[in-house]
A and B are shown apart, each in its own frame.
Chain A
Amino acid sequence: MQIFPIRPFNPPGDIPALRQQVRDLVAQHESHWQLESRANCWFSFDEAFSKALGKAGLLAMNWPKEYGGHERTMLERYVVLEELLALGAPAGLHWIADRQTGPLLIRYGTEAQKQKYLPGMARGEIYACIGLSEPNAGSDLASVRTSARKTPEGWRVNGQKVWTSGAHRSHAALTLVRTEEGSERHAGLSQLMIDLDTPGITIRPIVDMTGSHHFNEIFFEDALIPLDALVGTEGNGWKQVVAELALERSGPERYLSSHALLVALIDAVGPEPAPDIAQLIGRLTAELWTLRQMSMSTAAKLDAGEDPVVEAAIVKDLGNAYEQALPRLVQAAVDADLADRTDLSRLLVWLLVQSPSYSLRGGTPEVLRGIIAKGLGLR
């Protein structure tokens, strides 16, 4: 058994031209982007840029045309995504809708739901967030308590979600709720697509340790949600969520989060760095190149209709370890004054503080290794 048989990454079309299209679009918009936002693509917001991406056909790339998509391949989408991340483009507004909420609605949503949300998402105008975590349901997602009771008027939703990234900038939250009273664990869960301007919903900010606001708490107090907000099958929420999470494990966002610092390091030390710094750059490059190989190979498997659960967990675990180690390795090797305002110092400080979040979003190392161990038949 080869643990990771590689599949060639072979997107159709003129890929260099597609890269150039993204690079040109970024060049038109980047003048007002803050340095730190380049190291925080997922949570940096630029509405004009999100709409420009939509207009250029670079969102919803592999969705059906009837819902505003462009029917291009997942691999072409991958190319666009890695370009945006490597260039540090702000993707926070459209990120979740493009990556997972839209695809989930395409798979499980009703026709009315698709018509309501997808074309706007594809234009970069409708944004979504993920209502999963709760105060007592983080890594142990199945202990969700937020409840939705079916009444003739609609779903009565009560409870609380937490760590909801971008809820304050989103129009809707795809929310996991317990629709069967008294059910436990994986049973009795369903997904509702909840418009966040509904009465009875309160969104409160959580300021993270970088000083930024992207996390939120969402409180539901007898919020009345239309019956047709149910996505997929009542009681099938767990299975749908697991499928949704698989969409977010192996992409380039799992190893490029700190890339801006590598760029700044190379620029700061110039073409003839000291031997120890050259070795550090070499080591980081070798890891980056290998991760990209693995991520592209996993994307090719997904594109071929396979279900590379273990490969995706491997990419995410190794990728997170790399993007978290990068700022620490730079700090250890480079004599940088953390209090000065050079690009290198600003990015280093930002990423030292920001990077602990990389291994908590989308599954901790322990959770991922558990998935891998299961794939290896050990549990």
Chain B
Amino acid sequence: MSDNRQLLADMAEGLFAELAESDFEAAWPRLAEAGFSTLLVPEDKGGFGGDWGDVLAVLRLAGRNAVPAPVAEPILAHHVLALAGIEAPQGFVSIAAPGCRVPWGRHADAVVSVEDGKASLYMVDACTFTEGESPAGEPLDAVTFTGTAAAGAPCEADLAALGAFARVAQASGALEAAFTLAIEHVNQRQQFGRPLAKFQAVQQAMAEFSEEAAAVDASAAGCAAALDGLDEAGFEIASAKLRTNIAIDRATPIAHRVHGAIGFTMEYALNRYTRRLMSWRSEFGNDAHWAGVLGRRVATLGGKGLWVEMTRRSDRLIQPA
């Protein structure tokens, strides 16, 4: 990790841990003040000038701390605005990807959408929200644009794909947090005269859990590398979101299984991670969506073409010594 990214991660970790048990009203001003929103905005446009590796580091920590406020959405919104050359408004800007609800929409000061190669910025008075909630109790609001856009400009960004990457990054952190809780629990909890960790069946289940968390980490890192190194990362994002969804399917039941009834209470922290994971699996494309997107893309490559394409993509990321 570069020194800059380490500093960023240390700052994020400290703040996110503080905000972990707060709410939107308390957390958002602190997040805004810290300046995460402009993480991807170039320095000459007044931003942090970070890359997707930095975004992964920050969102992974946001997921690990179950921050109850939007971290990913303003980063993506400001990124799209900068790409399109639209000046960002004050306050919290969320994202409206095609066919997706707007996370934290009711709290937004403005919403960015990208459709048919065009980015549009709608101020909140041009938006009508139908409120909804995620399984984790977080706002997931449907938006109708009832007024005109404050600005619009050509933009090729795939907002649904970028949203999917954000959920992969957050899920990698949430899985680690759930895994850490589970490890602590099986080491401490005594049953039948010994710690749960000493039962081979429990060891095997925890090993499987770690494999799934590892797969998400690897896929998230591969995505960030592609976003930073390639002009187009659709293949990597589709693969990573689908693999993450599969990992959520396999790992969250293990997290709960080894915790027994203790993990099923509102009081115990596990549900803060697993309920978000349940939601993120559907947000910005569920398994069937990304499997279809990826499968149709691969079908056009032909059997041998799949391998040629996979190696071509990864070889483009190799840094000359």
Contact = CB atoms under 8 A, between A and B. Distances in A.
Interface of A: 1-6, 8-12, 15-16, 19, 82-83, 86-87, 259, 262-267, 269-273, 275, 277-283, 285-294, 296-297, 310-311, 314, 317-318, 366, 368-370, 372-373, 376-379
10 contacts: A6-B221, A15-B318, A271-B299, A282-B242, A282-B297, A283-B242, A292-B314, A370-B207, A378-B183, A378-B187
B149 interface: no
A290 to B, nearest CB: 4
A275 to B, nearest CB: 6
A370 B299 CA distance: 38
Contacts of A273: 295-296, 299
Contacts of B225: 8
A19 B290 contact: no
B303 A285 contact: no
B204 interface: yes
B217 A271 contact: no
Interface stretch (B41-49, B72-80, B130-138, B305-313): B305-313
A89 to B, nearest CB: 13
Given A86-B307, A296-B314, A289 B203 contact: no
Contact of B204 (A15, A82, A366): A366
Nearest to A13: B321
A269 B303 CA distance: 10
A321 to B, nearest CB: 9
B211 interface: yes
B143 interface: no
Given A272-B299, A281-B299, A292-B310, A3 B294 contact: no
Interface stretch (B31-39, B96-104, B113-121, B232-240): B232-240
Q: Interface majority SS on A: helix, strand, loop or mixed?
A: helix
B207 A2 contact: no
Given A5-B217, A373-B207, A282 B315 contact: no
B208 A369 contact: yes
Most buried by A among B222, B295, B299, B315: B295
Shortest 3 CB-CB contacts between residues of A and residues of B = A282-B295, A278-B295, A263-B303
B216 to A, nearest CB: 9
Most buried by B among A1, A294, A310, A317: A294
Contacts of A293: 218-219, 221-222
A266 to B, nearest CB: 4
